[in-house]
Amino acid sequence: MHTSSVPLYWRLQKSKYGLFGTKCLSCNTHFYPPKPLCSECRRKGRVVEHQFSGKGKILTFTIIRTAPEGFEKQAPYAIGIIELDEGAKIAGQIVGPFERLATGKRVRPVFRKIYEDSDDGIIHYGMKFVIDGKS
């Protein structure tokens, strides 16, 4: 059973649904999730909001066959680390046929159902990744 903090939900909504992070104007490092301070430049850096394209490549992945509580109906499913074109790394579910999964494959973001919260059936949506048809 998932329970969500309403304040946390609203704080994360922009970054989760719009793939907003931050970018340091001093060293051009990108961060997801957003950071208030550049970990490369420290206080010398000037950090601004940045919307990621969501496009990138699979660095690594695994197939979850025994899912945690609340995700049992989705198993088996793939989770991977995606390196976004801007350089930030993000973990996410990769949807599509397992036989197409491979490191280095190009992916793009899709907006999909993540899970249902409790027996009330409140549906939470978010970003997942699908293998680009060209790769």
- The answer to whether residue 64 sits within a structural domain is yes
pTM: 0.79
pLDDT tens, N- to C-terminus, the chain (135 residues)? 445 555 544 445 555 567 889 999 999 999 988 889 998 888 777 999 999 999 999 999 999 999 988 788 889 999 999 999 999 999 999 998 999 999 999 999 998 877 777 666 777 778 899 998 765
The answer to whether position 45 is within a domain reads no
Cis bond before residue 34 (omega within 30° of 0):
no
DSSP 23-72: EETTT--EESS--SSBTTTBTTS-EEEEE----EEEEEEEEESSPPTT-G
Residue 5's pLDDT is 54
Residue closest to 3 by CA, chosen among 113, 114, 117, 116:
117
Query: In CATH, what number is assigned to the domain containing residue 108?
Result: 2.40.50
Residue 5 lies in a domain: no
Instruction: Give the number of domains in the chain.
Output: 1
Residues 123/9, Cβ–Cβ less than 8 Å: no
State the residue for tokens 């390196």.
83
Residue 132 belongs to what domain range?
A: 54-135
